Structure 1
């Protein structure tokens, strides 16, 4: 729907299954991988407020590799590009992970977001995840398959050389804004999507069919995982003073499902010291 002159505040909630969504007008539930879901769940009745990512300009069929990014692409192409107001804000969260203000146990609301924006924040991010005994690159290499990430570096070196120094800092940085969760003002949102999908589509084009299909369902989602690292590559290149800027706000991540920390830590140690790649999210 084409936006009018009033600025929009819209955050899509990417989900691959039926799930209880926040009852707040800030959020737009979006079914990612809609083609696969509808094929597997024939005859299912969908909630009226659920948008499908296989409408309009879309990459829904890439969901097995791109995860929630098929939803981000849909939002960019079908909503953000049609909005003529540069003061609008758009964002991405997940059905089980939301942003929340300090000490709250519920997702950020539209009223809360509007109050934050009135304070002149333009970039809202999750609090950084810290990897105390690993840098970002080594953590990726220990837990996932490193080949696609190394190929990404070659693409950045060729097509986006200004971003290469920050990409190489993956080997020294020990924290990052993860999960593909953020809320940006419209111009920055569009710039980031141009950067992100420019790289990921180039990466996909550089891979053979065998390279794209060699991994199991968990590891096949490497485009989504690489994008988690590219967010800070983009932001710190544009804003070297990101951590000190007054228009940037970090909020806590609200997990709506229990986190199995024992399993998570165990899997991390097995990956780091015994070469056991992750098999699932936990």
Structure 2
């Protein structure tokens, strides 16, 4: 791996995980990051790649946006660091902006974030509620339960202090998802130092290569669960923001797929 001559230092850096050309918010707090740049260097040659410095860019088919998270951990010393997606962002709390026809006006910007971060070191997306499913049963119906079972086994071996929170989460009906967060550098780096060794161990016990390309991304999905566990166990103070999507969401397709998974055991076959 080539080393960057100097780690980046800014006030707030929020990485935007990107794998194809797409419009992004015009703000200096947002840093588009080409995920999987080591595998597809010609797709986004003009933005920051996740393949510089200390990186895991080649693991992108399995770790998804987490290759950008890892890059920020190892190569950025901003006071606050975060991660969003090229189509999904944290939304402003401003009522008028949240309902603007311009979807990028709905994206939270620096002044509002600075005020929120003065009171709390961590910002997370509002929880997703499943109501008729637990976190465990929803994942088992839509993906493969063995992903969760192997994760529990790894926690038993390398982080047993977190097992109570893992069991608690598995029985809950809501959780923070999307692998989105904004944290001060201390919390961000501490979370990454905890979660990545666990994910690496999980993949040594359950190779992602045995699945098709959609289900091979399971380490990225497991990390969504582990973020909740880490927050719960360490009693991290946080604030929540709603999320906004830059494209219309097909709620009918999402809802029917959810019900088919629960009642007819039809696993998800692709993203929505």
Task: Return the TM-score normalized by structure 2.
Answer: 0.90
- Give deviations 1:195-220, integer Å, cap 9, x for gaps: 1101001112223xxx4312111111
Using the alignment, how far apart are the partners of 1:13 and 1:226 within structure 2? 20
Using the alignment, how far apart are the partners of 1:67 and 1:150 within structure 2? 21
Using the alignment, how far apart are the partners of 1:150 and 1:126 within structure 2? 26
Gaps in structure 1 of 5+ consecutive residues = none
Query: Equivalent of 1:258, from 226, 248, 252?
Result: 248
Q: How many angstroms does 1:3 deviate by?
A: 5.4
Counterpart of 1:23 in structure 2 is 26
Counterpart of 2:189 in structure 1 is 190
Q: SS state of the match for residue 202, structure 2?
A: helix
Q: SS state of the match for residue 35, structure 1?
A: coil
Counterpart of 2:116 in structure 1 is 116
Counterpart of 2:138 in structure 1 is 139
Counterpart of 1:96 in structure 2 is 87
Counterpart of 1:76 in structure 2 is 73
Query: Equivalent of 1:53, from 46, 50, 53?
Result: 50
Query: Equivalent of 1:219, from 215, 222, 227?
Result: 215
Query: Equivalent of 2:229, from 233, 240, 262?
Result: 233
Q: How many angstroms does 1:145 deviate by?
A: 1.1
Q: How many angstroms does 1:249 deviate by?
A: 1.2
- Say yes or no: does 1:36 pair with 2:33: no
- Say yes or no: does 1:9 pair with 2:5: no
Task: Return the TM-score normalized by structure 1.
Answer: 0.87
Using the alignment, how far apart are the partners of 2:217 and 2:258 within structure 1? 18
Q: How many angstroms does 1:117 deviate by?
A: 2.5
| Count of matched residue pairs | 258
Q: SS state of the match for residue 37, structure 1?
A: coil
Using the alignment, how far apart are the partners of 2:145 and 2:216 within structure 1? 12
CA contact (8 A) 2:20 2:44 kept: no
Using the alignment, how far apart are the partners of 1:259 and 1:281 within structure 2? 11
Q: SS state of the match for residue 24, structure 1?
A: coil
- Give deviations 1:28-48, integer Å, cap 9, x for gaps: 00000112222xx4xx6733x
Q: Which 4+ runs in 1 deviate beyond 4 A?
A: none
